[in-house]
Structure 1
């Protein structure tokens, strides 16, 4: 009934992501970061200093720093130690008593120790929504997106993403900021989430997507970023030509609107009609550059 010893396995990356069914875009004004159960008891099942733990800790640190810098609330879930059988519930049958009553096992690992401004939720079941007040916290702060990282991917993280979906909260499961019992179960969680309840992404993509509004006259979109954003939505496995018709490649109206919303948050004044009428990478970057130049000129005058 105890946790299994977890053998090292390679952390999934961008090339391993399943195809997402939805194309939600993370927004600093809507998101909350959940660092799920990163306690010594659960990390103790992994081999220290080996993948996926090395990437897991580094990527969660990066997410936390980026979210804090953008004013995105950071929430930790942590299970209490020394639970009674009544508190433990059916988890006792599957996993035994869990964390002991001492001071060590229940602690968040030192590399991710919460700051005074972070929020700590006591967690009682697989899902971080059960008996925690997480949903109320989101609603009080008018947030409807949840970025999920931590352990274990196919248990608590996936259940939390599923509950988020059922409460109309957009969930983002960060594939390379999760840990699990095995690579197979890690992929199981990602595939289920992508098909039924969440967007699967990577730390790098999420950091790129969560950008503060650009200052007046500043365009933060490079041609490489424009191409990367389009390729992500198309799940493109082959290169996209600069002058290729993106509509013919499968870029539908929903995905175009996703790009409009994403690029507007970087300061780009662009419309759906403009993108739809000139659906090539070359035209789009010209439109973005032109809009920025006009705005800069108007601001200077």
Structure 2
């Protein structure tokens, strides 16, 4: 199948968010920031210079800056380039061969290049916990909250948030710091994420990280 051509659509605002079933308070002493697969291969599917990719990159950058200021772990996940068919498995049958050997395709988009002290974790499945060291990193850092942003909302973001919940790690999905194949799939992912986590906006999360209060957008 491969990646679709994604048309521009507006990012959801706070008035469009589903009501979160959880009422957890985000705590910078407990939380880590996960930036999911913000590589050129995936981000280039969006129309450049238009919504939602403009807000996507800007909002992730703002979250990353504050996380660094507050001493929170920042974790970037990345699909490895040039995977063999055996390693790609059933994912290859549905989504094709993945990232090729061109280094530009596997590189992170500007301004999200990882910095010294930030974690970069290769993973070969959409769920960032699966076949990666994400769980170990969070345990070693003493973190039991995970702020999830990146692409794609109904695939890697949602699966990762669900796995966090299943492992007693509180997920916070940032509604306007994720993006998807369409506005409909984006909204669907947020509805599902709200059933087992907190769905919030970037501005609310930045505010509550600074103030030590729970995000309340709904």
Fold-level match, TM-score > 0.5?
A: yes
Shift of 1:110: 2.0
Deviates more, 1:101-110 or 1:170-179: 101-110
1:140 is aligned to 140
Superimposed CA distance per residue, residues 213-255 of structure 1 (whole angstroms, 9 cap, x where no aligned partner): 7xxxxxxxxxxx9xxx79x37x4xxxxxxxxxxxxxxxxxxxx
Superimposed CA distance per residue, residues 157-201 of structure 1 (whole angstroms, 9 cap, x where no aligned partner): 000000000000000000000010000000000000112x21100
For the pair 1:158 / 2:161, whether they are aligned, the reply is: no
Distance 1:122 1:106 in 2: 11
TM-score by length of 1: 0.70
Superimposed CA distance per residue, residues 133-163 of structure 1 (whole angstroms, 9 cap, x where no aligned partner): 1111111111000000000000000000000
Ranked by relative contact order (alpha carbons within 8 Å, sequence separation 6 or more), the top structure is 2
Give the 4+ runs in structure 1 shifted more than 6 A: none
Query: If each structure's strand is expressed as a fraction of its own residues, which one has the higher value?
Result: 2
Paired residues for 1:216-227 under 5 Å: none
For the residue of structure 2 that corresponds to 1:19, the secondary structure is coil
2:36 is aligned to 36
Structure 1 contact 10–183 (Cα < 8 Å) conserved: yes
2:12 is aligned to 12
Residue segments in structure 1 that go unaligned for 5+ positions in a row: 214-224, 236-301
Structure 1 contact 61–112 (Cα < 8 Å) conserved: yes
2:84 is aligned to 84
Paired residues for 1:1-301 under 5 Å: 1-195=1-195, 197-211=196-210, 232=216, 235=218
Shift of 1:13: 1.1
Structure 2 contact 148–171 (Cα < 8 Å) conserved: yes
For the residue of structure 2 that corresponds to 1:87, the secondary structure is helix
For the residue of structure 2 that corresponds to 1:143, the secondary structure is coil
Structure 2 contact 73–141 (Cα < 8 Å) conserved: no
Residue segments in structure 2 that go unaligned for 5+ positions in a row: none
Shift of 1:205: 0.7
Structure 1 contact 70–212 (Cα < 8 Å) conserved: no
Shift of 1:212: 6.4
Considering only CA atoms, is the larger Rg found in Structure 1 or Structure 2? 1
Aligned residues: 218
For the residue of structure 2 that corresponds to 1:61, the secondary structure is helix
TM-score by length of 2: 0.97
Structure 1 contact 128–160 (Cα < 8 Å) conserved: yes
- Across the aligned residues of Structure 1 and Structure 2, the Cα RMSD in angstroms comes to 1.5
Distance 2:139 2:101 in 1: 33
Distance 2:126 2:109 in 1: 19
Shift of 1:211: 1.8
Distance 1:179 1:111 in 2: 17
Superimposed CA distance per residue, residues 8-55 of structure 1 (whole angstroms, 9 cap, x where no aligned partner): 000011111101111011101100000000000001100000000110
1:248 is aligned to none
Distance 2:40 2:98 in 1: 12
